[in-house]
Amino acid sequence: MSELLEGKTIIEIHKEISNLKTPKEYIEQNQGIDYPRPEYMRAICLRYFPDTSWTIEEKPVFDSSNKLVAWVVTGTLKWSYINFGLPHIVRIGSMAAAHRVQYKRGTNDMLDLGNDVKAANTDCWKKALNFHMNICDDVYRWEDPEVPDITKRISSIATEEERKKYEDVIKSNPLIINKNNIKGIKVLNK
């Protein structure tokens, strides 16, 4: 087992990864937007999740005149928490991306279809690593919002009897509670 985050919860593992600062030499700009370099993302991925796998499905997109205009990639990321002593927890996440096929100006000659396909796959893979594993959250500027404490919402309920009902439901069914369905608990108790 890795000593990276031994004994941490899955949420703590992802917060740790999210809080990593991407070194400047692994950030490149394209049209004024920051992007992490794929080799850095791969290194972080393999450091924390060495058993990660990536599979893709590719699909060409044609316009009404049957001209190839884009390449769409749907990727599936699969990983576990084996490094943290949790090999039985396997996660699977999907992502999609597309890349426009480029042609030589004024012709029907493609510039480099291989590069267009690679770009779609790389974009899809980088999005999946960021979205599902929190890699390079600082570059993509993802914020980790604080989820409101459900007990604060409960304490604002008028009567002691209602508070007791909510607290009992939370204790017996902790997975059904979130900030958007607290009113639903009342229905469950009827």
pLDDT tens by residue, 37-70 = 999 999 999 999 999 999 999 999 999 999 999 9
> What is the residue extent of each domain of the chain?
10-140, 150-189
pTM for the predicted model, two decimal places: 0.71
Mean pLDDT of 128-142: 94
Domain 10-140: assigned CATH number: 3.30.390
**pLDDT at residue 186 above 70?**
no
pLDDT score for 11: 86
Amino acid identity, position 107: T
Mean pLDDT of 1-27: 83
The chain-wide mean pLDDT, for the chain, equals: 83
What tokens does 156 get? 């604002």
Spatial neighbors of 83 by CB under 8 A, at least 6 apart, are 1, 2, 4, 5, 48, 49, 50
CA distances from 152 to 92, 157, 159, 163, 176 (A): 33, 9, 14, 11, 17
pLDDT tens by residue, 63-107 = 999 999 999 999 999 999 887 877 778 999 999 999 999 999 988
Q: Is 90 left (phi over 0), alpha (psi -120 to 50) or beta?
A: beta
Nearest to 134 by CA among 188, 173, 70, 77: 77
**pLDDT at residue 1 above 50?**
no
pLDDT score for 157: 59
**pLDDT at residue 151 above 50?**
yes
CA distances from 59 to 66, 74, 113, 120, 145 (A): 14, 8, 13, 11, 35
Q: Residue 152 pairs with which residues in a beta bridge?
A: none
pLDDT band at 153 (very low <50, low <70, confident <90, very high): low
Share of the chain above pLDDT 70, in %: 76
154 vs 181, residue with greater confidence: 154
Rounded Cα distance between 171 and 139, Å, is 39
